[in-house]
Structures are given as structure tokens and as C-alpha cells.
Amino acid sequence: MDRSSLFQLIQEQLDPENTGFIAVENFTSLVEHHELQLDPSKLDMLLALVQSNEEGQVCYQELIELMSSKRSSSFRRAIANGRRTLQREILLDETGLGLYKRFVRYVAYEILPCETDRRWYFHQNRLCPPPVFIAIVTIVQIIVFMCYGIMLNKWVLQTYQPDFMKSPLVYHPGHRAQVWRFFSYMFMHVGLEQLGFNALLQLMIGVPLEMVHGILRISLLYMAGVLAGSLTVSITDMRAPVVGGSGGVYALCSAHLANVVMNWAGMRCPYKLLRMILALVCMSSEVGRAVWLRFSPPLPSSGPQPSFMAHLSGAVVGISMGLLILRSYEESLQKQCSWWVIVFSFITFLLFAIFWNIFAYELLGVQIPPAP
């Protein structure tokens, strides 16, 4: 039975008067006594939709949306209220999976705290579009670093090389009128160790997040962390330049870690406590290293070293904006009041930072180091 025939059967037999609603007992009888050629996960979703209803009827339109691979609002309510029960074993018990499907299952358990969401993502996942944003950003960062490494013949502490700071990609307070620098600094790195740390974290955490939540949400989160990093430095550390993608990386990491903490009981990733401790230790050590380079540089330098405030502001963006993105899997952000509150707060910060960069430096008489 194809989908159109099934929809026609449901409408003719269960809703002949076109009321838009179907009695629960009639729908349950249809599911139990007809051979519906649907994958097992959709049968679970349909039964969950039925079991969650308290008014004795199912909305025909929501049923059509669910069977057309769209999460219906009533099913989302059933998930939120915990009134659904899965009819089959958990996703980890699936056998005979190929390599790609096993990886998708691994990602589902790494990112999603709810078994129903995991099953839905697992069965709805498609390789197209692939998670390309984080991969492209990482590749560009590596290429830029290698180009400057070869040109300067220097692979660590590159900021001590004057030609490095002359790059049109580095954010420098003397060049803050060049707006692209508030973003492009994410492609420059102090040295091999900073690049390696950022690339490893954003690939390990960013790629699974992008697979589940999509390129639009993850790119928005990453770029918001990058922009917040440079703007925060321009306000709090006004004489310092900025290099590295730490703002975006810390936005991804803090969002994921906060999501794990908020849904601790539901997360099924192995050794989650140990992994969280290791992640926090690594992130804290990277911040400590950035603070040390900023205030106690190991070599004499012609100007202030890059600021560490991008790390902290990226983490704040991840906990606020990112946590909401990760908690609203497959749900429209535009319909959430809290999302608009966060967007309004970010825009307010953005406008304040713009006015600060235009007027505050002259009003406060800040002595900016000479632009390279």
C-alpha cells in the first residue's frame, strides 16, 4: 500500500465526514489489523501519537505530517510530557548495520538525550547535505597556517613575527574600521599548538553537531561565537589584537557540554563524566595558556599579544544561544519566545559594540599600539 492509498483509506474509513479528526480507537484498530508498509520507527511514532492523546481523537493533518516525515506538534508535546512509550528495543540493539549507519547511531547517542529523538534522527538521516561547514573552516585554517608558516619559516609563536601581524586577516584595534577583520581573524593562529587544539575540538564536536542540527544552526552558532569574541576584545581589552578560531570553537564546546549537563540522565555516551572532565581541563588549560601569553609573553614583542577574551565570550555564546539550539532538535526556532529574547540580546550587544568602537576609543583616550 503506497502513501497516497493509505491516506485515502484513512480518510474514507475513519473520517468519512471530513471533520479533520479520527477517533483513537478507530485509528488503533487500523494500525493493528492492516499491513501498513512503513518502517518500524514510523509505527512507533504513530502509536506514540495515539497514546499521547487525551481527547479521544487524532488530528488528521498532524497524522499526515508525521507520515510525511515531519514531526507533528502533538507528537512533540507527547515527547515533552513524557507520555509516550517505545514499542521496540532501544536503538543500540539494532543489528546488521553498515559502517555509515553505525556511525550515525554513534552520533545520535553522542548528541541527543532522548531515545525517541535518536530513533527519529537515525531513520530520517540522509547523507545529503553533508556536514561541510566545519570541515571547510578547518581546511581553510590549516591552509592559511601552512602558507604563513612557509612564508615566515616559523611554526610557533608566529605573532612575534612582524609580517604575521601585517596580515589583512588579523584583528587589530588600529584596523577596526576594516569590518571583515572581526570575522577573518578566525583563520589565523598563534602557532601549531593552537591550531591543533582548535582543529581537533571543532572536528570532534562540530561535525557530529552539524550532522544532527544542520549546517544553518551550527554555522550560526560558530560565527556568533567568532563575532562575539572580537567584539568583546574591542570592549574589554582595547589595545590587544585577536587571532585564532577559539571564539567559535568554545561556542560549540560549551553548548555541547551544557547540553550534556542539562540532560545528564538521558545521555548515553560512554564515559561521559571522564570525557567532560578531560574537555574542561583541556579548555581551561588553553585559556590559561592564552592568559599567560597575553600578560607574560616569553619573548620581547613590539606590541600587546592577542587577547584571551574571545575564549570566554565564545563560551558565553555557546551556553546561551547554543544550548537553546541544541535543545530544540527538529523544532522551529522562530516559534520559541526564548530564542527571540536571545537574538534581541545579541543584537543589543552588537549595536553597543559598534557604538563603542566608533566613539569610546577617542573619548577614553586609549593609546592604541601602532598598526602594523
The catalytic residues are: 246, 311
Unique residue bearing C-alpha cell 479520527: 22
142, 148, 152, 154: CA torsion to nearest 10: -20
In contact, 183 and 227? CB cutoff 8 Å: yes
DSSP 153: T
In angstroms, how far is the first alpha carbon of the chain from the final one? 71
- What is the b/e burial string over 247-277, where b = at least 16 CB atoms within 10 angstroms of the residue's CB? bbbbbbbbbbbbbbeeeeeebbeeeeeeebe
Amino acid of residue 198: N
167 Cβ neighbours under 8 A, 6+ residues apart: 148, 188
- Cell numbers for 58, please give them: 487524532
| C-alpha distances in Å from residue 226, one per residue of 64, 141, 271 | 41, 14, 30
| C-alpha distances in Å from residue 138, one per residue of 31, 99, 198, 226 | 48, 24, 9, 14
| C-alpha distances in Å from residue 210, one per residue of 15, 45, 176, 223, 318 | 41, 24, 31, 14, 14
